[in-house]
Amino acid sequence: MNDLEKVGFSIIPDVISPREVGRFIADLDELHLLRSKAGIRHALRGSAVKELANSPKLLKIAQCVLGQTALPFRATLFDKSPQSNWLVVWHQDTALPLQERRALPGWGPWSMKEGVIYAHAPASALRKVLALRVHLDDSTTQNGPLRVLPGSHTQGVLTDSAIHQLLRRLSGMECIVPKGGVLAMRPLLVHSSSKSLGKAPRRVLHIEYSASLNVDDGFKLATA
């Protein structure tokens, strides 16, 4: 975790045991959450997801970066397989779920997703967020692993043109994470993933944490 602030990510193996992963997958299959081909958008509404997100193992990682008040506010399940396969272009994660909409410089454009208000946030708010990507399967070079541009999180919120220029200067790196491992990352880290080339699934639970639900001048994060 010592290099997270410098490069924008850190891989922590063996956080969740194989038995715990198996039990979580079984519990997840029993939840009545809205699914798409790619997975589940607002997964924190599920009891099993909420329990895992608030487990001491994950909270300890988040607290090491964000402080003792760190709490999860959003979770997304990505379920990449031969039946549901896609690529993700280079981008930053800049949209945050909010409890209300109002005009404030640096926030927007706005949208609504499954009843939740979203806005693209300024760098000052995004720097208060940490994502923990819990790997429910082995991530390999063949099943569309996350690729990152180390250090790109220090550049602020980037336009598509600025990201393309950055790609000319920085080399992408594949993040190979074993089953039960966690990849901690800053949302401003430029990242992508390719399509899976194999038959093995790649399920990842992406959980976002913040030191507080208050992120900017009265703006409060919504839990999703």
- Domain residue limits at 130: 4-213
Cβ neighbours of residue 52 closer than 8 Å, sequence gap 6 or more: 16, 24, 58, 134, 205, 207
Contact status, residue 133 vs residue 208, Cβ threshold 8 Å: no
The pair of three-digit structure tokens given for residue 161, joined into one six-digit string: 């043109």
Q: Is residue 184 part of a domain?
A: yes
The pair of three-digit structure tokens given for residue 111, joined into one six-digit string: 């949208």
Q: Is residue 30 part of a domain?
A: yes
Q: What is the pLDDT of residue 74?
A: 97
Q: Above pLDDT 90, what percent of the chain?
A: 79
Q: What is the pLDDT of residue 213?
A: 96
Q: Is residue 152 part of a domain?
A: yes
Q: How many domains does the chain have?
A: 1
pLDDT for 211 beyond 90: yes
Q: What is the pLDDT of residue 82?
A: 67
**Structure confidence by residue, pLDDT tens digits, 18-29:** 999 999 999 988
The pair of three-digit structure tokens given for residue 68, joined into one six-digit string: 């003792």
Q: pTM for the full model?
A: 0.95
For residue 205, count CB atoms less than 10 angstroms from its CB and return exposed for 0-12, middle for 13-18, buried for 19 or more.
buried
Residue appearing with tokens 């280079």? 90
pLDDT for 88 beyond 80: yes
d(CA 134, CA 56): 14
Question: Predicted confidence band at 58 (pLDDT cuts at 50, 70, 90)?
Answer: very high
Q: CATH number for the domain including 113?
A: 2.60.120.620
Q: Is residue 222 part of a domain?
A: no
Q: Is residue 194 part of a domain?
A: yes
